[in-house]
Amino acid sequence: MSKQRQPIVGFVGPMNARKTLLLLDHIFAAEAVGETVLVYKPQVDDRFGVGIVRSRCGGTHEAIPVPESPQGELKAQSSFILDDILKNNKKPTLVAIDEVMMFDDDIAEVVVSLSEAGIQVAYAGLNMNYRGEPFSSGIKELMSISTRLEVLSARCTYSHDGIHKCGAPATMTQRLKNGEPDSYDSPLIVIEKFATEDQKPVFTYEARCLTHWSISGTRPQKTTLP
Ligand SMILES: [Zn+2]
């Protein structure tokens, strides 16, 4: 007897858009009614410690760190989730995945397998990279097969005087290198680094509206409007 496909719920948007907060809320709501939840996140994302999902707005949950994929680019190995469940005979009702854009391109296939095996899936992550492009083909595919998708916005934190902030709806993630817009040609995944004493290049991210989001360097364009 085949199992019924289960819902696939996504929370996407730029940084600071409450993606992880809503994922945690989804997890806690499932646990409150006795469901078994497994949470996965990329091992490479160590900003808040390995093995924990934390929202900037508050709230934490234990997470299983997913090792790096052989596909490279610091991405996490999507198939690890299926292996972990099968090899360890785990029986989750819900699998939650944080920072989903940092998984390799097999992530959509893995999520469909989970859904078809009778397991609900919820995920959170950036829909676009700092270049304003879809973060990965994995996230593009995942967004299109989701049964519920919330595209969230933040508030623009651009400031022209260091005091007042724009505050408009922010849909973009701005990467800054030493405080200046980063170049198009920089690596796609760079984990946020704050100022260090040795003054090496420092990468930070801010939520920005379309007016205040910018990128240096040249974006390859197939079609140019006049
Ligand atoms: Zn703005």
Q: How confident is the model at residue 199 (pLDDT cuts 50, 70, 90)?
A: low
pTM value?
A: 0.89
Q: How confident is the model at residue 73 (pLDDT cuts 50, 70, 90)?
A: confident
Burial class (CB in 10 A: 0-12, 13-18, 19+), 22: buried
**Average of per-residue pLDDT values in the chain:** 90
Which range among 123-127, 174-178, 189-193 has the greatest average pLDDT? 123-127
Q: How far is the CA of 225 from the centre of ligand 1 (A)?
A: 24
The residue that leads in pLDDT, 46 or 71, is 71
What structural domains and CATH numbers belong to the chain? 8-152 (3.40.50.300)
Q: How far is the CA of 207 from the centre of ligand 1 (A)?
A: 9
Read off the pLDDT of each residue in 25-46 and give the average, rounded to a whole number: 93
Q: How far is the CA of 109 from the centre of ligand 1 (A)?
A: 36
Catalytically annotated residues:
99
Q: How confident is the model at residue 179 (pLDDT cuts 50, 70, 90)?
A: confident
Each residue of 83-108: b (16+ CB within 10 Å) or e? eebeeeeeebbbbbbbbbbbbbbbbb
CB neighbours of 122 closer than 8 A, spacing ≥ 6?
8, 9, 10, 11, 23, 26, 27, 94, 95, 96, 97
> Which residue, among 73, 69, 133, 134, has the nearest Cα to 107 in the 3D structure?
69
pLDDT confidence of residue 47 = 65
